[in-house]
Amino acid sequence: MYGGTIDKRVVFSSHPVIVVDCAAVVGSFQTTLEAENFVRGAARFEALIFRHSGQEWVRFPFREPSLLLGPSNADSPLFG
């Protein structure tokens, strides 16, 4: 079991990699590659990937921000 906080909320998962979209965990995976394929295949443009560092969830930078989608929401709260 993996647990930690994202934006002051406690998040638990049975896998070390999770995908968060629209303030909800939408998938959990064994590898970041599986998570990347899920995000790209589902066309989830706002989704973020987090990996567990042993104590906390850490954002995994898997793509460059798109200028076509507008300003980045990387610093905005996920669970607003």
Residue boundaries of the structural domains of the chain: 2-61
Q: Is the pLDDT of residue 77 over 70?
A: no
pLDDT in tens, 42-67: 877 789 999 999 999 999 998 765 55
**Rounded to an integer, what distance in angstroms lies between the CA atom of residue 68 and that of residue 27?**
26
Secondary structure percentages of the chain, helix, strand, coil, to 5: 15, 40, 45
What is the rounded CA–CA span in Å between residue 29 and residue 70? 28
The mean pLDDT of 4-21, rounded to a whole number, is 95
Instruction: Return mean pLDDT, the chain.
Output: 85
